[in-house]
Amino acid sequence: MKKSKGFRSGTRALLRKKPRERGKLKTSKILQTFELGDKVVIKIDPAVHKGMPHRRYHGKVGVVQGRRGKAYIVTVTQGNVEKELIVRPEHLDIYAG
């Protein structure tokens, strides 16, 4: 059988929650807001499929450029190229360092 090349292929360890993190998503996580120019970490929540960025951006730090509906436009550098991602707030955390 041919190997699947889906959007989440090879993410068994990457997109796995620890047992105490499982369950219903907190509303504060969904309702968190970011300002323009804020640095954010892309931390994919595997329970929410909408607005999920590609797994190659998991753990990357980006800058919020604006909003698009409920989602945020985040620019991330990948090598020498800047990429614009449209990510929902469930997959973002404020950068602390």
Q: Could you tell me which residues are beta bridge partners of residue 85?
A: 74
Whole-Å CA distances, 12 to 9, 16, 17, 29, 46: 8, 6, 10, 23, 10
- What is the per-residue pLDDT across 42-92, written as a single tens digit (0 to 9) for each? 999 999 999 999 999 999 999 999 999 999 999 999 999 999 999 999 999
pLDDT score at 97: 80
pLDDT score at 48: 93
Q: Are 15 and 8 in contact (CB under 8 A)?
A: yes
Class of domain 35-94: mainly beta
End-to-end CA, the chain: 45
Residue 3's Cβ-side half-sphere holds a number of Cα atoms within 13 Å equal to 4
- What is the per-residue pLDDT across 2-35, written as a single tens digit (0 to 9) for each? 988 898 999 999 999 999 989 888 999 999 999 9
pLDDT score at 12: 92
pLDDT score at 4: 87
pTM: 0.90
- What are the percentages of helix, strand and coil residues in the chain, rounded to 5? 15, 30, 55
Residue type, 84: E
Domain limits of the chain?
Answer: 35-94
pLDDT score at 16: 93
